[in-house]
Amino acid sequence: MQKPILEVDGLKKYFDIKGGPIGRKVGEVKAVDDVSFTVMEGEILGIVGESGCGKSTTGKSILRLIEPTEGKVKFQDQDITSLTNSEMRRLRKDMQIIFQDPYASLNPRHTVEKIISEPLLVHGMTSAKQRLDRVGELLEVVGLSPYHAKRYPHQFSGGQRQRVGIARALANNPKLVICDEPVSALDVSIQSQILNLMEKLRDEFNLTYIFIAHDLSVVKHISDRIGVMYLGRMVELTEKNKLYDNPKHPYTQALLSAVPLPDPDMPRNRVILKGDVPSPANPPSGCAFHTKCPQAMDICKEVRPAFQPVEDNHFVACHLYK
């Protein structure tokens, strides 16, 4: 049986809203509001949701790139929320992140060699020769060539830059990689190259991914289990096929039906949601989705539904399933 590599329990991240002449706190944005899940070793957990649902904040809070407000994050049975900064830095060797924008996440004034070797240096590889060899090796792993090491990011295309970003993340043989929208900025034909590469690397290096994306078909393709987020909360979490064949939460149902499919013959029974997503600064009471939910009941306005299993391995936060 696999064991969990990461356990997130009751993670919360509130951002203060400052206002007034002296910048007092006037409110909070509940970017992540009580999210719990576990990630098994070697698994790819997808997290989907629309913009502003808190999926990226969740990813960054796990790495403590954003300090979580509350909650526990256990990585390999060690609670990392209480670690000091230097302990955390040592641990980040095992936990890496790939960012969305391959144009913004690489320093334009550094060569690729410097970009990839920096994490090596930080984590104690002091020999320049060794670092150079490792950079060449990593570039080959991600489908580039060692001679690319002397180049600058602007000399690469978007797909190639994302490969550099992946090479940097893999430099220290991490165990867990958080991928924050890694293919969203890429063209379709390049996107599939990167997805294939990521799957190959997972098998080769026995990695665990948390794959954050808004594109449901991409997440479906790569993930083993998928969590759906809405307004800072996890509303449904289950195995990929269960989620797509039998979505339980009304939000998941609407989200899945809204995806345009490149097939003119697919039946379209679309659930079109009315109105906009409410602001996370002022989320609706009870279930956050009740304002847009086609099946809302009275209880939904008052009581926040618990995130609980309704079937084996199928967690849903909805009053319809009790």
Give the angle subtended at the CA of 240 by the CAs of 95 and 321, to the nearest 5°.
Answer: 110
Name residue, tokens 């809302």.
Answer: 296
Among residues 264, 269, 312, 322, which is the contact residue for other proteins, using CB under 8 A? 264
Per DSSP, the three-state class of 83 is coil
54, 31 in Cβ contact below 8 A? yes
Q: How far is the CB of 56 from other proteins (least distance, A)?
A: 14
Look at residues 218, 146, 299 and name the one whose alpha carbon lies nearest to residue 226.
218
Nearer to other proteins, 107 or 217 (CB): 217
Question: 4 — phi, psi (to 5°)?
Answer: -70, 140
Q: How far is the CB of 315 from other proteins (least distance, A)?
A: 21
Q: Does 295 bind other proteins (CB under 8 A)?
A: no
Q: How far is the CB of 178 from other proteins (least distance, A)?
A: 20
CA distance 310 to 255: 20
Per DSSP, the three-state class of 96 is strand
- The helix or strand, by DSSP H or E, that contains position 70, with its residue range, turns out to be strand 70-75
Q: Does 192 bind other proteins (CB under 8 A)?
A: yes
Nearer to other proteins, 176 or 185 (CB): 185
Q: Does 160 bind other proteins (CB under 8 A)?
A: yes
Q: Does 148 bind other proteins (CB under 8 A)?
A: no
Segment 72 to 101, residues that bind other proteins, using CB under 8 A: none
Segment near other proteins (CB under 8 A); pick from 12-20, 84-92, 103-111, 218-226: 218-226
Segment near other proteins (CB under 8 A); pick from 15-23, 55-63, 154-162, 314-322: 154-162
CA distance 137 to 145: 9
Among residues 147, 275, 312, 322, which is the contact residue for other proteins, using CB under 8 A? 275
Q: How far is the CB of 80 from other proteins (least distance, A)?
A: 31
Write the DSSP assignment of 223-287 as a string of letters: -SEEEEEETTEEEEEEEHHHHHHS--SHHHHHHHHHS--S-TTS-----PPPSPPPPTTSPPSSS
Query: How many binding residues for other proteins (CB under 8 A)?
Result: 41
Q: Does 51 bind other proteins (CB under 8 A)?
A: yes
Segment near other proteins (CB under 8 A); pick from 1-9, 91-99, 174-182, 254-262: 254-262
Other C-beta atoms within 10 Å of 82: how many? 10
Q: Does 246 bind other proteins (CB under 8 A)?
A: no
CA distance 53 to 251: 12
Name residue, tokens 């002091």.
Answer: 126
Q: Does 189 bind other proteins (CB under 8 A)?
A: yes
Look at residues 62, 240, 102, 97 and name the one whose alpha carbon lies nearest to residue 183.
102
Nearer to other proteins, 214 or 304 (CB): 214
Q: How far is the CB of 301 from other proteins (least distance, A)?
A: 20
Among residues 20, 21, 124, 262, which is the contact residue for other proteins, using CB under 8 A? 262
Q: Which residues bind other proteins (CB under 8 A)?
A: 50-51, 157, 159-160, 187-193, 195-196, 199, 214, 216-218, 220-222, 244, 254-255, 257-266, 270, 272-273, 275-277
